[in-house]
C-alpha cells in the first residue's frame, strides 16, 4: 500500500512539473491579434483579423485569451459572439480605434457569452463627437446577454453615444472603468444598464455629456460604489414610463463623488399612463461638489419638445438617503417633484448636509406629493410630510 501511495504522489508531481514546463492545459491558450495579420498604426481596418482571432479563441475548450498588444489598431464595427467552449478573456493592452463616419447600433459588442473578461489597461476610442441629427449613433462597447463576467481596467473615450452599455446581463462586474467625453457631447452616457440583474460597478471614473451611470427598466440588484462622476448628468434611474409595467428595484449607491454635474442622485419618470415601480433604492455616503440638482425626483421628465401631459403612473417608494454631503450650485438642494396620482412614499432622509455654493443664502428643499421621514442633520430643512 505504501508503494502504491508513493507512486501516486510521484505521478501527481510529474504532472505538475509538466504543467510548469509545457504550459499546456494548465492555463488558457493565447491568441495574439498580430498573428492574424493585424496591422498597427491606425490606418488599416483590422476587423477581419479580430473576428478570426475571436472565433478561434471562442472555440478553444480549456479557456482562452485574445491579446491586443501595444499599439493602435483601426477596427470597424464588430460583433463578437458566443457561446464559447470555455471562459474567454479579451485583453486589450493597446488602443482600438473606431473609423470616422462610423454608423450603426454598436461599435464593439460581446453577445451570448458566459465567463467573459475584458481587461488589459488599454483604450477603446470612438469616432465622436456625436453629430447632431445623425440617425445612427453607435454605442462604443456593449455587453448583451453576458453572464458571470467582468470588465476591468479599461479606458473608453470619445463615443458618439453611450460608452458602455449592458443589456440583459447577469452577475457582471465592472471595475476600474475610465470614461472620458466632452461635457457638451449629447447622449454620451458613461455606463447604461437595462434588463439586467446583479451588476456591480466599482472604483471607476466617468466624465461624459450625459448620465455617468444610467439605470433603466428591468434592472435589479445593481450596486455603484467608489465612482467619481463629473462632468455629466449624475447617477440616474430612468427615465421610466416609456412602456407598461417597467420596474427598477434594489439599487445601492455608496461612497461616490459627484463633481460639477448637472444632477446628483436623480430618479426620472415620464408623465405617461404606463404603470411602473421604482423601489428599494439606497444612497449612502455620497459627496457632491457644486452640483446643480443634488437630490431630485422628476416625475414630469420631458426630453423632447412635445410630451404627454398629466400624472406619471410610475410609483417611487422606499428610497433612502444617508450621509449625503457637499455643495449645490443652486439653492434648491432637495427636490421631490412627484406624481399627484401616484405620490412618492416611504422616502427617508438621514444626515443630509448640502450647502449653497455661493454662501449667499441657504439651500432649500421642495416637496410635491412626497411623504416620508427625516432623521439627524437636515440641511436644508426637510419638507417631507410624515
- Does domain 211-386 fall under CATH 3.40.30.10? My reply is no
Where do the structural domains in the chain lie, given as residue ranges? 211-386
Q: 201 by DSSP, 3-state: which?
A: strand
pLDDT digits (tens, 9 = 90+) for 262-296: 999 999 999 888 999 999 999 999 999 999 999 99
CA distance 363 to 157: 35
CA distance 225 to 175: 10
Question: Which residues make beta-bridge pairs with 207?
Answer: 180
Which pLDDT score, from 0 to 100, does residue 12 have? 38
pLDDT digits (tens, 9 = 90+) for 115-144: 999 999 999 999 887 665 565 689 999 999
Confidence band for 103, pLDDT divided at 50, 70 and 90: confident
The better pLDDT of the pair 271, 33 is held by: 33
Which pLDDT score, from 0 to 100, does residue 359 have? 73
- Name the nearest CA neighbour of 167 among 230, 214, 117: 214
Which pLDDT score, from 0 to 100, does residue 385 have? 81
**Residue 20: pLDDT above 80?**
no
Confidence band for 329, pLDDT divided at 50, 70 and 90: very high
DSSP element (H, E) containing 7: helix 2-22
Question: Which residues make beta-bridge pairs with 279?
Answer: 249, 317
> Percentage of residues in the chain with pLDDT exceeding 90?
81
Which pLDDT score, from 0 to 100, does residue 135 have? 59
CA distance 222 to 248: 9
Confidence band for 357, pLDDT divided at 50, 70 and 90: confident
Confidence band for 360, pLDDT divided at 50, 70 and 90: low
**Residue 183: pLDDT above 80?**
yes
Which pLDDT score, from 0 to 100, does residue 6 have? 47
Which pLDDT score, from 0 to 100, does residue 310 have? 80
> Percentage of residues in the chain with pLDDT exceeding 70?
91
Q: Please give the average per-residue pLDDT across 196-214, as a whole number.
A: 97
Confidence band for 161, pLDDT divided at 50, 70 and 90: very high
Q: Give alpha helix (H) positions in 145-262.
A: none
Q: Please give the average per-residue pLDDT across 85-96, as a whole number.
A: 98
Which pLDDT score, from 0 to 100, does residue 4 have? 43
pLDDT digits (tens, 9 = 90+) for 222-261: 999 999 999 999 999 999 998 989 999 999 999 999 999 9
pLDDT digits (tens, 9 = 90+) for 285-324: 999 999 999 999 999 988 777 777 788 999 999 999 999 9
- Name the nearest CA neighbour of 349 among 317, 329, 377: 377
| Enzyme catalytic residues | 210, 233
Which pLDDT score, from 0 to 100, does residue 23 have? 41
Amino acid at each position: 500500500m505504501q508503494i502504491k501511495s508513493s507512486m501516486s504522489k510521484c505521478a501527481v508531481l510529474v504532472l505538475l512539473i509538466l504543467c510548469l514546463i509545457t504550459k499546456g492545459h494548465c492555463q488558457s491558450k493565447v491568441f495574439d491579434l498580430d498573428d492574424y495579420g493585424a496591422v498597427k498604426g491606425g490606418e488599416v481596418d483590422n476587423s477581419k483579423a479580430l473576428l478570426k482571432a475571436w472565433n478561434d479563441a471562442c472555440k478553444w475548450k480549456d479557456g482562452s485569451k485574445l491579446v491586443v498588444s501595444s499599439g493602435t489598431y483601426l477596427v470597424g464595427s464588430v460583433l463578437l459572439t458566443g457561446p464559447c467552449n470555455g471562459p474567454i478573456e479579451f485583453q486589450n493592452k493597446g488602443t482600438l480605434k473606431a473609423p470616422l463616419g462610423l454608423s450603426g447600433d454598436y461599435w464593439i459588442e460581446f453577445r451570448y457569452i458566459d465567463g467573459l473578461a475584458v481587461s488589459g489597461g488599454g483604450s477603446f476610442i470612438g469616432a465622436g463627437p456625436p453629430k447632431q441629427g445623425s440617425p445612427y449613433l453607435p454605442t462604443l462597447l456593449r455587453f448583451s446577454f453576458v453572464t458571470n463576467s467582468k470588465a476591468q481596467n479599461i479606458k473608453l473615450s470619445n463615443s458618439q453615444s453611450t460608452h458602455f452599455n449592458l443589456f440583459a446581463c447577469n452577475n457582471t462586474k465592472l471595475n476600474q472603468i475610465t470614461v472620458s467625453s466632452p461635457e457638451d457631447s449629447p447622449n454620451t452616457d458613461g455606463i447604461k444598464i437595462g434588463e439586467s440583474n446583479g451588476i456591480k460597478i466599482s472604483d471607476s471614473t466617468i466624465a461624459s455629456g450625459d448620465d455617468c451611470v444610467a439605470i433603466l427598466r428591468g434592472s435589479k440588484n445593481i450596486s455603484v460604489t467608489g465612482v467619481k462622476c463629473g462632468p455629466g448628468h449624475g447617477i440616474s434611474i430612468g427615465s421610466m414610463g416609456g412602456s407598461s409595467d417597467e420596474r427598477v428595484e434594489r439599487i445601492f449607491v455608496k461612497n461616490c463623488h459627484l463633481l460639477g454635474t448637472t444632477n446628483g442622485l436623480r430618479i426620472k419618470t415620464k408623465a405617461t399612463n404606463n404603470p411602473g415601480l421604482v423601489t428599494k433604492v439606497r444612497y449612502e455616503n455620497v459627496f457632491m461638489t457644486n452640483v446643480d440638482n443634488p437630490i431630485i425626483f422628476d416625475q414630469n421628465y420631458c426630453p423632447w419638445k412635445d410630451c404627454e401631459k398629466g400624472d406619471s403612473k410610475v410609483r417611487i417608494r422606499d428610497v433612502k438617503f444617508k450621509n449625503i454631503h457637499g455643495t449645490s450650485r443652486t439653492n434648491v438642494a432637495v427636490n421631490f417633484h412627484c406624481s399627484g396620482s401616484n405620490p412618492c412614499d416611504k422616502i427617508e432622509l438621514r444626515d443630509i448636509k448640502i450647502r449653497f455654493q455661493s454662501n449667499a443664502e441657504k439651500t432649500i428643499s421642495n416637496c410635491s406629493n412626497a411623504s416620508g421621514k427625516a432623521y439627524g442633520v437636515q440641511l436644508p430643512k426637510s419638507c417631507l410630510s410624515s
